[in-house]
């Protein structure tokens, strides 16, 4: 039996992601470019069979899911909401570090928002739901929550999300290697046709990494 595969889709571009602003529970829509990139995943999504389709309730994730052609099958899961940034909502990393030079979200959390432990607990419920369903699944969500999901999938603390850089409009695949939780693909841009072709052939064990400060 082949290992379960969990496809993680980070939503497309928004005005706030372009400006590097922390976008937590603010319901910011996709830009037209974000919509166009999301549409490009429709052809690949049509070739995959998913036992479960989950999306964050926030518009930018739901819209990405809908444009990918999976909106009618999607189940909204509030545990996939982006990190609640509290007092840091809408601020750039530079603005935050002007106040707190040593701040790092995966260690410190956000004043008036969530701690790493709180978002880790949410993600653990998502993972239990995914592992409890036979077959592959796809998840549409946000940068920081998906980074924590990857860390927890591997058995790391929520703070381990700091090791997984993730851009907008990207595809990741979590799976297992001889029953050991593993990352099969990471931070692959949805807009690059060769990534789609590789996934049609069954994917690659090499990860794609592109650093980004944007959230």
Active-site position among 5, 11, 22, 142: 11
Q: Is 11 a catalytic residue?
A: yes
Q: How far from chain centre, in Å, is Cα 163?
A: 14
- Which residues lie below 8 Å from residue 80, measured CB to CB, with a gap of 6+? 54, 55, 56, 57, 61, 122, 126, 139, 140, 141, 142, 145
- Which residues lie below 8 Å from residue 87, measured CB to CB, with a gap of 6+? 110, 111, 112, 113
Place of tokens 């992601």: 17
Active-site position among 13, 63, 66, 82: 82
> CA separation (Å) from 111 to 96, 143, 175, 186?
11, 19, 34, 30
Sign of CA dihedral 214, 144, 113, 12: positive
Please report the DSSP string for 1-43 in residue order: -PPP-EEEEE---BHHHHTT---SSS-PPBPHHHHHHHHTTHH
Q: Is 144 a catalytic residue?
A: no
- Dihedrals φ, ψ of 138, to 5°? -130, 140
How far is it, in rounded angstroms, from Cα 184 to Cα 172? 8
Active site residues: 11, 82
């Amino acid at each position: 039996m082949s290992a379960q595969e969990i496809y993680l889709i980070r939503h497309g571009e928004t005005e706030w992601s372009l400006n590097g602003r922390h976008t937590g529970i603010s319901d910011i829509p996709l830009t037209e470019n974000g919509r166009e990139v999301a549409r490009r995943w429709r052809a690949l999504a049509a070739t995959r069979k998913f036992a479960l389709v989950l999306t964050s309730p926030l518009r930018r994730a739901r819209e990405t899911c809908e444009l990918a052609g999976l909106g009618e099958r999607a189940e909204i899961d509030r545990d996939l909401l982006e990190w609640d940034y509290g007092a840091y909502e809408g601020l750039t990393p530079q603005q935050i570090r002007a106040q707190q030079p040593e701040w790092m979200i995966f260690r410190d959390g956000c004043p008036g928002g969530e701690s790493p432990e709180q978002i880790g607990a949410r993600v653990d419920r998502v993972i239990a739901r995914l592992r409890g369903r036979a077959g592959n699944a796809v998840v549409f969500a946000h940068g920081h929550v998906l980074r924590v999901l990857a860390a927890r999938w591997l058995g790391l603390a929520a703070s381990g999300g700091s090791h997984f850089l993730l851009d907008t409009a990207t595809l990741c695949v979590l799976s297992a290697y001889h029953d050991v939780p593993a990352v099969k693909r990471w931070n692959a841009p949805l807009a690059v046709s060769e990534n789609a072709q590789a996934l049609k052939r069954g994917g690659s064990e090499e990860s794609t990494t592109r650093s980004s400060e944007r959230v």
